């Protein structure tokens, strides 16, 4: 499969392997590096080195090999299906479920459950370990996630992720009381220089924009709605911590102890809105707040 990518002004200077891994959903960074080493990534018909720095306006051609047949095992794990047709399935993922196999989580993932539920009807664009997966949410984040049942739908939805027309709305409980009723965090995100397992707001990070608004205020906590304009790793968690209001229960970016009896951050993917790949019409899918989230709000007590 041949794919192309045109560099924007904000991406100028970034390494080609990192750029492709982020913008082309079929690739991980290690896969991108292997393709570059094999001469499968070119600029004006010339192969590149993996440390090549991109320039705004340049158009890169990427030859992505056909996906290998998956060796994953389908598992009969119950799914809360919020929307499904011949092209798309939207699942309400429970907190604690990993999206796809990774070190330490070889099975019992959302992918294993989707393979059982959908059979052969999952796209191969995401690679052998991520069939159908268009985007991801953290293990300890609950809520809506979309998967594609064929390659056409996958590419169509991935394009919407790239141009920010696939709208994602979350609800969260953050520590502290926000002064304003709404706001925007516009702060670039990249790997934390001190800890590569964490993300952080850094000057040379990738553009990241989160819009937020207050739903309710409690004594020392705020229930907020967050709308993603971009989709960086851990974006809401990093941005809210950056403005001094980390997510309740986030032991990585927030308080280093469990709070209100909650393990895992209080973050729920509440709504997805996307253009359907077959009809071109907008589809809006919403989910109720899960019990753990409702229990936290109940423990917080009366609003202020």
Q: Which residues are catalytic?
A: 138
Cβ 143 vs Cβ 269: under 8 Å: yes
60: tokens are 């890169």
CA distances from 106 to 109, 117, 138 (A): 8, 18, 16
Spatial distance between the Cα atoms of 259 and 251, rounded to a whole number of angstroms = 10
Spatial distance between the Cα atoms of 206 and 11, rounded to a whole number of angstroms = 7
CA distances from 242 to 28, 144, 191, 247, 252 (A): 27, 25, 14, 11, 13
Cβ 90 vs Cβ 270: under 8 Å: no
Phi, psi of 39 (to 5 degrees): 80, 20
């Amino acid at each position: 499969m041949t794919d192309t990518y045109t560099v924007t002004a904000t991406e100028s200077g970034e390494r080609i392997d990192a750029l492709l891994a982020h913008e082309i959903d079929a690739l991980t960074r290690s896969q991108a590096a292997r393709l570059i080493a094999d001469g499968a990534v070119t600029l004006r018909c010339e192969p590149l080195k993996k440390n090549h720095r991109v320039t705004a306006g340049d158009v890169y051609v990427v030859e992505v090999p056909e996906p290998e047949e998956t060796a994953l095992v389908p598992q009969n794990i119950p799914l809360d299906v919020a929307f499904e047709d011949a092209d798309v399935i939207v699942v309400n993922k429970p907190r604690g479920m990993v999206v796809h196999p990774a070190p330490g989580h070889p099975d019992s993932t959302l992918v294993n459950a989707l393979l059982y539920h959908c059979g052969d009807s999952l796209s191969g664009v995401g690679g052998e370990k991520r069939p159908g997966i268009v985007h991801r949410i953290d293990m300890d984040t609950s809520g809506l996630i979309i998967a594609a049942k064929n390659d056409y739908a996958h590419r169509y939805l991935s394009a919407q992720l790239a141009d920010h027309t696939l709208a994602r709305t979350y609800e969260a409980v953050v520590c502290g009381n926000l002064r304003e009723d709404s706001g925007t965090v516009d702060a670039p995100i990249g790997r934390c220089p001190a800890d590569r397992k964490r993300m952080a707001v850094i000057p040379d990070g990738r553009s990241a924009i989160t819009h937020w608004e207050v739903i309710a205020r409690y004594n020392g906590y705020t229930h907020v709605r967050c709308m993603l304009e971009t989709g960086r790793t851990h974006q809401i968690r990093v941005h809210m911590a950056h403005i001094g209001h980390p997510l309740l229960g986030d032991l990585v970016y927030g308080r280093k102890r469990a709070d209100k009896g909650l393990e895992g951050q209080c973050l729920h993917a509440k709504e997805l809105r996307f253009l359907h790949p077959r009809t071109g019409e907008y589809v809006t899918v919403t989910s109720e707040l899960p019990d753990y989230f409702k229990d936290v709000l109940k423990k917080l007590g009366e609003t202020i």
